[in-house]
Amino acid sequence: MAIFVLIPGGWHGGWAFAGFAATLRRHGHDVYTPTLSGLDEGSRQSPGGINLETHISDVQELLTVEDLYEVVLCAHSYGGMVATGVADRACERIAALVYLDAFVPEDGQSWWDLAGDGYRRLALDRSRRDGIGVTPPDGLDRRCAPHPIAAFLQEIWLSGREQSVPRRLFVYASDWEATPFTEQYERFRDDPAWEVHSIACGHDIVRHAPDEILAILQRLAAAL
């Protein structure tokens, strides 16, 4: 049995992992699916006071309140920014980091730095309404909420402690044209500190390839 904390990507809440979390629980694992500040469906919390550090604190508080250790932090997309910050601040609680087509920042980098020109244009265009929240791209689930633009812009502050996490996995979704993750995949696949997988599917990797992700996480859990 393992303890999984699943961190959603931009615009999404913990509901995005509901079906997959249920599958993990059926296999005997403990699973937490937090919704980051300002991203609840119908949230009345203004995104104006929320940044990346807020989201890191959200997950760190969950680990503290639930007294969780030997955690597998499993993050999708923007959630990789959050998972990296949590691992730096609470590395003693983390057994493994799993990046599911997710950003892996270095000290001083932001989502804005890593996302590429297309997503930077999207963030600008979709924040024009109030200059605070980035409205969800077309075609996403109706439950998606405006993402605080400060969370996309803020640089991450890392001490290097996140690199002491014993296991680090990167799962690359290779079958979508706009991916900003190719450079990370090519860098990590030759790095012995990383376990790297490539799956021919779209960016919503848990929805498109749940069986493959489950198999990867099951093998990881068995090895912890």
Which residues lie across from 64 on neighbouring strands?
Answer: none
- Contact between 118 and 196 under an 8 Å Cβ cutoff? The reply is no
Contacts of 3 by beta carbon, 8 Å cutoff, 6+ apart: 29, 30, 31, 32, 68, 69, 70, 71, 72
Question: What three-state secondary structure class fits 167?
Answer: strand
Are β-strands 3-7 and 71-77 bridged in parallel, bridged antiparallel, or unpaired? parallel
The DSSP call for residue 213 is H
Consecutive H or E run containing 95? strand 94-102
> Could you give the CA distance from residue 108 to residue 53 in angstroms, rounded to a whole number?
13
198 carries an active-site annotation:
no
**Nearest Cα residue to 54 out of 124, 150, 167:** 150
Q: Of these residues, 37, 43, 57, 77, which one is catalytic?
A: 77
Which pair of structure tokens corresponds to residue 224? 């912890």
> Could you give the CA distance from residue 96 to residue 111 in angstroms, rounded to a whole number?
22
- Catalytically active residues are 77
